[in-house]
Amino acid sequence: MHLGGCNLLTIDVEIRIIRSMGDAGEGLVDAESRLAERMDEREEEKKKARQIVKAGDPERARQLESCRLARTEMQRQLDLATHQARRQQLDAAIAELDRRITQLSKK
């Protein structure tokens, strides 16, 4: 059976493709929103670091930025890690970096 140059089999296949693309599209939207959130967080971190530099302690600003970069890398590794022991190590490292970042931000 044909409908306007398309047969029902073609329409059924196209509907299945669109449905599967919908699931992939949702994952893409989730990834984009996480990326946007992380970019906003990084912008806030940079603003805080600039304020510290303006306050006159470039060494503390350097340490703070170094800890933030290290934390970003540890989080990336944690997102990819599959072995439980490695995940625990990364969790501990991230907690220590968070503690240091908090300490450096308060001074």
Least reliable range by pLDDT among 21-25, 65-69, 98-102: 21-25
Q: Where are the domains of the chain?
A: 7-106
Report the alpha-carbon angle 85-91-92, nearest 5: 95
Least reliable range by pLDDT among 24-28, 74-78, 93-97: 24-28
Taking the complete model, does pTM exceed 0.85, yes or no? no
Summarised one tens digit per residue, pLDDT across range 4-57 is 445 555 556 555 555 555 555 566 667 677 777 877 887 887 777 677 666 677
* HSE-up of residue 56 (Cα within 13 Å, Cβ side): 0
Q: Which of 42, 50, 33, 48 is nearest to 71 (CA)?
A: 42
Provide the pLDDT for residue 44: 81
